[in-house]
Amino acid sequence: MNNFIASLTPSIARFVLVASASFAFNIASADELKDISKLADQGQTAVALDRINTFIAANPKNAQALFMKGVLLAEQGRRDEAIKSFTEVTERFPNLPEPYNNLAVLYADQGQFDKARKALETAIKTHPSYATAHENLGDIYARMASEAYDKALQLDTANTRAQGKLSLIKDLFGTGNKTTIAASAPAKAASSPSTPSAAAPAPAAEVKKASSPASNNADNITASINSWAQAWSNKDLNKYFASYADDFKPAKGQNYKAWEKQRRERISAPSKINVELNNIAVVANEGNTAKVRFKQSYQADKRAPIRTSKTLLLKKSGDNWLITEEIASN
């Protein structure tokens, strides 16, 4: 949990719900909260929520615990309870911007855009350099503008000015005919023939050219990463694991068999998965190695999407680029 930034439902795509904040607490509290965070990372949200409630009962003034409870409730889709939890944090700790941001995300998910706007403005007032709140506020304004132009067209279908402005917003945020909001407009790739309804992540890549030979590999590297994300979205386990090298090193010293077992369980459990990649940056080195950085949005079923920054290290094996290391961060 400490390593992800999450947005909520597709109807407010790219809204950023922060899942951790820089609160000060003692070492004993830190260890307990770290254990609870690990449970959440392992998908044991209900258990984590029980633990955090017990912790709060003994530590009712712990801001980090109250904040974490709100995130866990949002992860379970219990939005009203999450709003109550984040509101409590803002009342007790009015100078923290993250709870206001998360309230705005939850309000926006309910269509309460004016409340969302006010919450984000408060977050920015407490911390003017809080980039996440500025980004979300921009999306809120765009969403409100889109609805206003829609209303204008309902009242006057011949209003070409409103139609042009509405089209501009939809093109800018990649919304098509949907009322989604996005910080960028990811391109769409063709879906897998076996799963025609699956979302296919294929954003444009920003390529950093190390040299002419390396730059020739950039397109292939990007294609490999998009194929990996699409296999994940499609729950195609064979293709997903084929994206990893034989000497792949799981994070935190976990052995490969344990990692594979865990990944199979996590991918198989949801009925639907959607993975989107944005801001892909490829650094292709001389020889057969490369580094790729990107923003990843992961959503399982109707749970709140998880948004992370990720770095993949790859090596060339024949004509393929395979993942040797996977690093997630804020």
Q: Let me know if residue 151 belongs to a domain.
A: no
CATH number at residue 246: 3.10.450.50
Task: List CB contacts of 278: < 8 A, sequence separation 6 or more.
Answer: 183, 184, 186, 203, 294, 295, 296, 297
- 139 shares a domain with 13: yes
Same domain, 218 and 306: yes
Tens digits of per-residue pLDDT, 284-293? Answer: 776 688 888 8
pLDDT digits (tens, 9 = 90+) for 50-59: 999 999 999 8
Report how many domains make up the chain.
2
- Considering the domain boundaries, does residue 200 fall inside one? no
Residues 122 and 34 in one domain: yes
Residue 170 in any domain: the answer is no
Task: State the pLDDT at residue 124.
Answer: 92
CATH number, domain of 50, equals 1.25.40.10
Same-domain check for residues 209 and 319: yes
| Confidence at 184, pLDDT banded by 50, 70, 90 | very low
Mean pLDDT of 321-329: 90
Predicted pLDDT at 41: 73
**Is the same domain home to 13 and 137?**
yes
pLDDT interval class at 62 (50, 70, 90) = confident
- Tell me, yes or no, whether 319 and 211 share the same domain: yes
Q: Is the pTM of this model over 0.75?
A: no
Q: Does some domain include residue 50?
A: yes
Q: One-letter amino acid identity for 119? A: A
Is residue 31 in some structural domain? yes
Residue 106: φ, ψ to 5°: -70, -40
Phi, psi (degrees; rounded to nearest 5) at 135: -60, -50
**CA distances for 61 relative to 23, 67, 136, 236, 265, angstroms:** 12, 11, 28, 45, 37
Split at pLDDT 50, 70, 90, the class of 1 is: very low
In a domain, 158, yes or no: no
Both 138 and 216 in a single domain? Answer: no
Most confident of 174-178, 278-282, 291-295: 291-295
pLDDT reported for residue 313: 93
Q: How far apart are CA 180 and CA 230, in angstroms?
A: 21
Query: Are 23 and 134 contained in the same domain?
Result: yes
Same domain, 120 and 236: no
Does position 61 have pLDDT exceeding 80, yes or no? yes
Domain final residue pick, 121, 143, 165: 143
Tell me whether residue 233 is in a domain. yes
In a domain, 156, yes or no: no
In this model, does residue 324 exceed pLDDT 90? yes
- Indicate whether 264 pLDDT > 90: yes
Domain-ending residue, one of 143, 171, 187: 143
For the chain, the distance separating the N- and C-terminal CA atoms, rounded to the nearest angstrom, is: 10
Q: Are residues 11 and 135 in the same domain?
A: yes
pLDDT tens digits along 195-226: 333 333 333 333 333 333 444 577 888 889 99
Q: Are strands 289-300 and 273-284 parallel, antiparallel or unpaired?
A: antiparallel
Which range has the worst mean pLDDT, 72-86, 144-158, 160-174, 232-246? 160-174
Which of 143, 164, 187 lies at the terminal end of a domain, its last residue?
A: 143
Domain co-membership, 21 together with 121: yes
126 and 10 assigned to the same domain = yes
Domain membership of residue 260 as a residue range = 205-329
User: Does residue 291 or residue 43 have the better pLDDT?
Assistant: 291
* Average model confidence (pLDDT) across the chain: 75
Contacts of 262 (CB under 8 A, 6+ apart): 42, 254
Mean pLDDT confidence for 5-23? 42
Who wins on pLDDT, 210 or 97?
97
- Reported as a pLDDT band with limits 50, 70 and 90, residue 20 is low
Share of the chain above pLDDT 90, in %: 27
